[in-house]
Amino acid sequence: MKNTNALWLQCGACGGCSMSMLGVEGQSLPDVFKDAGITFLWHPVFSELSGPAVIDILDDILAGQTPLDLLIVEGTPLLGPNGTGRFQMMSGSDKPMMQWLIELAEHAKYTVGVGSCATYGGIPLAGDDLLEGTGLQYHNNQIGGLLGSEYISRTNFPVINIPGCAPHPDWIVETLCLLAQDHIQPKDLDPEGRPLAYFGHLAHHGCPRNEYYEFKASAAKESDQGCLMENFGCKGTQALGDCNIRSWNGAGSCLQGSYSCIACTMPGFEDTGAPFLETAKIAGIPVGLPSDMPKAWFVALAALSKSATPERVRENAHQSQIVHQPTRKKAKN
């Protein structure tokens, strides 16, 4: 099996993406990467090297002495103050991290943005964005970012984006292993560079509250079992990701834990216009409607659905547990 050199760099980040990846199930993470032929030249968690030894690795890559197959970036590249990047210096060098990324990306076979911060800018863009953050190839939902809209890697790929705050460990690990074997083609990515295997779904798919959503039987208080979209800020019908199809930590997801989807895989999720667990509304109608449904259709469908809501669903929606079980319809004599 061929060897794949990977370099993982952290920008403005909490480290949550690395922590998520450590939770991969099945084989141990070192064994997964070993089996895929992936060797980490450096990773801020796995690696013992620091200071000048790390700078030597980066210099060898730029000099063409060490091939770089996977450039993996976690966190928000920071351009402040005033575009200098000096808010975020690479330790042991007098060069801003943004400059290292620009230069290293020219040598990468594939460049991968892990997490919504590296993908779109993420949390550091919230509010006044005093840090001047950006994503690798997107700034929020606008193409461009640090590397620019025209950037392509040595293999003619744009930045491969794995958004999420944090992404599912499988999204990260499987993508890196597939790239190591050159098993991802442009057709496997959506127009924003996200792998369709994971982001060809909505978080709404597989939601345990789908029956309540279908009948627009909404939760009225935090402990209710009803749909969380109308009152508690759930954006599962707008967020890409197989979050409710692929279990996390053996079982579960945000919604299975009774927490609303905050659309952390989507650009701009950090500035919602309302608290995360409150639904922004205009004239009583939620602002965040399903992404591919006209508003008038949704309003008409909601009215029809509510009028047809079974009493069982209506009552269960306002309870902390199921009080009315489904029953078989009695056959006519």
The percentage of residues in the chain with a pLDDT greater than 90, rounded to a whole number, is 70
Q: How many domains does the chain have?
A: 2
Of the three residues 177, 199, 221, the one that is the final residue of a domain is 199
Nearest to 41 by CA among 19, 17, 12, 71: 71
In this predicted structure, what is the pLDDT of residue 323?
A: 84
Q: Which CATH number characterizes residue 237's domain?
A: 4.10.480.10
**Mean of the per-residue pLDDT values of the chain:** 91
Q: In this predicted model, which residue has the larger pLDDT, 307 or 85?
A: 85
* 41 lies in the same domain as 181: yes
CA Rg, the chain, in Å? Answer: 23
In this predicted structure, what is the pLDDT of residue 303?
A: 72
Please check whether residue 70 is in contact with residue 113, taking contact to mean a CB–CB distance below 8 angstroms: no
User: From start to end of the chain, where are the E strands?
Assistant: 4-10, 38-42, 68-74, 108-114, 138-139, 142-143, 160-162, 281-282, 285-286
* 171 lies in the same domain as 251: no
In a domain, 314, yes or no: yes
* 18 lies in the same domain as 154: yes
206-233: per-residue pLDDT in tens? 999 999 998 989 999 999 999 999 999 9
Mean pLDDT is lowest, of 89-98, 192-201, 287-296, for 287-296
In this predicted structure, what is the pLDDT of residue 112?
A: 98
Please check whether residue 21 is in contact with residue 172, taking contact to mean a CB–CB distance below 8 angstroms: yes
Residue 106, pLDDT > 80, answer yes
Q: If pLDDT is split at 50, 70 and 90, which confidence band does 297 have?
A: low
Structure tokens at 149: 């809209």
* 34 lies in the same domain as 119: yes
Find the distance separating the first CA and the last CA of the chain, reported in whole Å: 69
* 194 lies in the same domain as 302: no
Amino acid (one-letter) located at 124? P
pTM: 0.90
Mean pLDDT of 154-159: 97
The b-or-e profile of 162-172 (16+ CB within 10 A means b, else e) is bbbbbbbbbbb
174-206: per-residue pLDDT in tens? 999 999 999 999 999 999 999 999 999 999 999
In a domain, 86, yes or no: yes
* 62 lies in the same domain as 162: yes
In a domain, 131, yes or no: yes
In this predicted structure, what is the pLDDT of residue 330?
A: 66
Please check whether residue 306 is in contact with residue 210, taking contact to mean a CB–CB distance below 8 angstroms: no
Q: In this predicted model, which residue has the larger pLDDT, 69 or 92?
A: 69
In this predicted structure, what is the pLDDT of residue 333?
A: 60
- How far apart are the C-alpha atoms of 194 and 94, rounded to whole Å? 33
Mean pLDDT of 238-242: 95
Please check whether residue 176 is in contact with residue 6, taking contact to mean a CB–CB distance below 8 angstroms: yes
In this predicted structure, what is the pLDDT of residue 128?
A: 85
* 148 lies in the same domain as 239: no
**What are phi and psi for residue 181, nearest 5 degrees?**
-100, 10
In a domain, 47, yes or no: yes
Residue 287, pLDDT > 70, answer yes
In this predicted structure, what is the pLDDT of residue 180?
A: 97
Q: If pLDDT is split at 50, 70 and 90, which confidence band does 314 have?
A: confident
120-142: per-residue pLDDT in tens? 999 999 988 889 999 999 999 99
- Kindly list the strands in the beta sheet with 4-10, ordered across the sheet, starting from the edge strand earlier in the chain: 38-42, 4-10, 68-74, 108-114, 160-162
Residue 60, pLDDT > 70, answer yes
Q: In this predicted model, which residue has the larger pLDDT, 304 or 36?
A: 36
In a domain, 166, yes or no: yes
Residue 316 parent element (H or E): helix 311-316
Domain enclosing residue 137, as ranges: 4-199
Residue 331, pLDDT > 80, answer no
Of the three residues 165, 199, 233, the one that is the final residue of a domain is 199
In this predicted structure, what is the pLDDT of residue 286?
A: 76
**What are phi and psi for residue 142, nearest 5 degrees?**
-105, 130
Q: If pLDDT is split at 50, 70 and 90, which confidence band does 39 have?
A: very high
Residue 328, pLDDT > 80, answer no
* 174 lies in the same domain as 84: yes
Mean pLDDT is lowest, of 26-35, 134-143, 318-327, for 318-327
The percentage of residues in the chain with a pLDDT greater than 70, rounded to a whole number, is 96
